A and B are shown apart, each in its own frame.
Chain A
Amino acid sequence: MATHSQTAPSRAAHPQAEAPRAGQGSPALKWAALAALLVVALVAPFQLYPVFLAKALCFALFACAFNLLIGYVGLLSFGHAAFFGSAAYVTAHAVKVWGLTPELGILLGVAVAALFGLGFGFLAIRRQGIYFAMVTLALSQMVFFLALQLPFTGGEDGIQAVPRGYLFGVIDLGDNLAMYYFVLAVFLAGFLLIYRTIHSPFGQVLKAIRENEPRAVSLGYKVDQYKLAAFVMSAALAGLAGGTKAIVFQLASLTDITWQMSGEVVLMTLLGGLGTIFGPVVGAFLVVTLQNYLAGTQLPVTVVTGVIFVVCVLLFRRGIVGEIGALLKGRG
């Protein structure tokens, strides 16, 4: 039991129900479904509160970024809140104090998150499996203490009352609808980037590493460089989500950067389905909705979150999208 802890390829992230590869299945049906989803996304803010939807989209992007690592490289990072949170702080500070436009503020946040990702990734990929998780977790705790102690972060209060500002200096993001469409655009850009990456030759190498790392090494791939590249990309996208969230809520706070937040994004991905394209999105919407609902009840949120975690791990490890995919496959 103890002998193969470090060398075994990660089975946590098997794509039990991988989304159909391009050119397989029925592409017409797939595109129709995507178009329908897009229409729903465009119409949704007229039915539901746009800020709630924007929040869900931010977390969906965050979960997708996290899933790029766990689902397609087999690396469980437990420190992704560090990227999400640091980008939120940098964006909030840049927009509020330096008066940058929101898109520039977010870009700056993404750059900082990517830099952190480079440093963390460089250290963390030296260890594998659960050690990798522990290293990323510990490093992210370091960022948490920085956020608590650095002079510009506002300590326990965070950075509040961040102006949403004018996108490109023109579009007023103070309007919730405009804000929502901006977040939707950011989400789609990030999502498509991840989608393209997964289905590129680069993505195929990542999957090969996940399946059998020694074999990928023997085929001549510089595995560490691939892992690091994926890590930086995931960190940058998590930063994109965090920076955007800071603009939507006009707030960057310690909550964004605690390890509980890292756990939350793990839960979203696990609940939706590790290694599925849409799983993290579904998981994020469910968790955000649930939290919104629980906030109005007497039930303690962390306990409910923990119960879902345990149930997911014990009973349906494929997650919702994964289980549905497996069902469809079994029938077809």
Chain B
Amino acid sequence: MMELLGIPPQVLFGQLLLGLINGSFYALLSLGLAVIFGMLNVINFAHGAQYMLGAFAAWMLLKFAGINYWVALVLAPVLVGLIGVVLEKLMLSRLYKLDHLYGLLLTFGLALIIEGMFRHWYGVSGQPYPIPQALAGGHNLGFMFLPTYRGWVVAVSLVVCFGTWFMIERTRLGAYLRAATENPVLVQAFGINVPVMITATYGFGVALAGLAGVLAAPIYQVNPLMGSHLIIVVFAVVVIGGMGSILGAVLTGFMLGILEGFTKVFYPEASNIVIFVVMAVVLLIKPAGLFGREK
């Protein structure tokens, strides 16, 4: 059997695939954070909790209403996004005139409330969510075995990330958005309803987190604390990528996921902290992040 760098290829590619999947989630979540940050200037600390909400929404839809994965894939993000809209209208919108730190603190409090409630109701044990029939099983690629569902997650993540990038960078709506982040007053003067746009953007970013949650449900179990570890890693991803560009958030997410997978193969003890080490190094060399603009 062929060996690569002293590691059996099955192990290497298996870990790389895992890394790629983690990377898909990092990319989706940091994309959502970047979209929200661009428009609201808020670091959405509740992003991890909203990701968890997405997974729980899918699980509840299945358990209590018998609604299957495919419908949940659309319905759950919409529901979570609507919760986001309500939060923005009721709370976040009151803080825009203040220091941005208050947005961070508010969303931190919201994360505590959401996660605390689900933990109170469901404990810390995970709820299983079955892989949908059509995506069960896998393919033998010759050098490795690819579970279909995992391939599906990577594909969806790529499509959604590209779609979001396209919408923001290449469409008229995206042009309004980018203009409004530069100069909201001027854009408002052109007759565009900026507050509605802000609300919609927050809802959309939160929905992205919800979507990631639904995608995650069959892979990891549905667990009240599934977001709270992930969110810190995603913060590190964001710092490494720099908040300047949507593309940066996505690329960095995938890259770091794969790097983490590599580390698991060659030096497993460090796999938990490799992303933070990369963050430290990047901060030393490029404080604004790999894709960020220096201000």
Q: Assign chain A's interface to a size class.
A: 35 or more
Query: A310, B109: Cβ atoms under 8 Å?
Result: yes
Q: Does A11 contact B (CB under 8 A)?
A: yes
Q: Does A134 contact B (CB under 8 A)?
A: yes
For window 117-137 of A, CB contacts with B under 8 Å fall at 123-124, 126-127, 129-131, 133-135, 137
The count of chain B contact residues (Cβ–Cβ below 8 Å) is 52
Residues on A with beta carbons closer than 8 Å to the beta carbon of B100:
5, 129-130
Query: A306, B235: Cβ atoms under 8 Å?
Result: no
* Contact among B94, B109, B117 for A300, CB-based, below 8 A: B117
Q: Does A45 contact B (CB under 8 A)?
A: no
Query: A1, B102: Cβ atoms under 8 Å?
Result: no
For window 115-134 of B, CB contacts with A under 8 Å fall at 115-117, 119-120
Query: B273, A2: Cβ atoms under 8 Å?
Result: no
Q: Does A317 contact B (CB under 8 A)?
A: yes
> Mask for A16-39, Cβ within 8 A of B = 1, else 0?
000000000000000000000000
Query: A302, B101: Cβ atoms under 8 Å?
Result: no
Q: Does A204 contact B (CB under 8 A)?
A: no
Q: Nearest-CB distance from A223 to chain B (Å)?
A: 15
* C-alpha spacing A5/B98, complex, angstroms: 11
For window 246-278 of A, CB contacts with B under 8 Å fall at 259, 263, 266, 270
Residues on B with beta carbons closer than 8 Å to the beta carbon of A47:
none
> Mask for A299-332, Cβ within 8 A of B = 1, else 0?
0111101111110111001000000000000000
Q: Nearest-CB distance from B233 to chain A (Å)?
A: 8
> Mask for B257-295, Cβ within 8 A of A = 1, else 0?
000000000000100110011011001100100000001
Stretch of A84-92, A138-146, A280-288 lying at the B interface: A138-146
Dominant SS at the A interface?
helix
Query: A138, B236: Cβ atoms under 8 Å?
Result: yes
* Contact among A1, A259, A263 for B40, CB-based, below 8 A: A1
Residues on B with beta carbons closer than 8 Å to the beta carbon of A234:
none
> Mask for B85-101, Cβ within 8 A of A = 1, else 0?
00000010011101111
Q: Does B135 contact A (CB under 8 A)?
A: no
Residues on B with beta carbons closer than 8 Å to the beta carbon of A300:
116-117, 119-120
Residues on A with beta carbons closer than 8 Å to the beta carbon of B273:
142, 145-146
Residues on B with beta carbons closer than 8 Å to the beta carbon of A2:
38-39, 41, 181-182
Q: Does A6 contact B (CB under 8 A)?
A: yes
Q: Nearest-CB distance from B272 to chain A (Å)?
A: 4
* C-alpha spacing A310/B94, complex, angstroms: 12
Closest to A308 in B: B109
Query: B232, A263: Cβ atoms under 8 Å?
Result: no
Q: Does A42 contact B (CB under 8 A)?
A: no
Residues on A with beta carbons closer than 8 Å to the beta carbon of B239:
127, 131, 134-135, 138
Q: Does A292 contact B (CB under 8 A)?
A: no
Query: B112, A305: Cβ atoms under 8 Å?
Result: yes
Q: Does A218 contact B (CB under 8 A)?
A: no
* C-alpha spacing A301/B40, complex, angstroms: 30
> Mask for B189-208, Cβ within 8 A of A = 1, else 0?
00000000000000000000
* C-alpha spacing A214/B115, complex, angstroms: 40
CB contacts between A and B, total, < 8 Å: 141
* Contact among A3, A149, A310 for B183, CB-based, below 8 A: A3
Q: Does B104 contact A (CB under 8 A)?
A: yes
Closest to B181 in A: A2
Closest to B229 in A: A141
In this complex, the member of A138, A141, A310, A312 whose beta carbon has the largest number of chain B beta carbons within 10 angstroms is A138
Residues on A with beta carbons closer than 8 Å to the beta carbon of B120:
300, 303
Residues on A with beta carbons closer than 8 Å to the beta carbon of B279:
135, 138-139
Residues on A with beta carbons closer than 8 Å to the beta carbon of B35:
none
* C-alpha spacing A141/B224, complex, angstroms: 19
Residues on B with beta carbons closer than 8 Å to the beta carbon of A232:
none
Residues on B with beta carbons closer than 8 Å to the beta carbon of A263:
108, 112
* C-alpha spacing A8/B39, complex, angstroms: 17
Residues on A with beta carbons closer than 8 Å to the beta carbon of B109:
305-310, 312-313
* C-alpha spacing A2/B177, complex, angstroms: 11
* Contact among A137, A301, A308, A313 for B106, CB-based, below 8 A: A313
* Contact among B41, B96, B277, B287 for A142, CB-based, below 8 A: B277
* C-alpha spacing A305/B184, complex, angstroms: 35
Closest 6 CB pairs of A and B: A309-B109, A306-B112, A302-B116, A306-B113, A303-B116, A126-B287
Excluding A139-B280, A305-B109, 9 further A-B contacts by CB distance (< 8 Å) are: A11-B98, A131-B239, A135-B283, A141-B276, A303-B113, A309-B105, A309-B106, A310-B109, A313-B106
Give the interface of B toward A (CB within 8 A): 38-41, 43, 91, 94-96, 98-106, 108-117, 119-120, 181-184, 232-233, 235-236, 238-239, 243, 269, 272-273, 276-277, 279-280, 283-284, 287, 295
Q: List 14 A-B contacts (CB under 8 A).
A: A131-B239, A133-B104, A134-B43, A134-B239, A148-B272, A149-B269, A149-B272, A301-B116, A302-B113, A302-B115, A306-B114, A307-B113, A310-B106, A313-B106
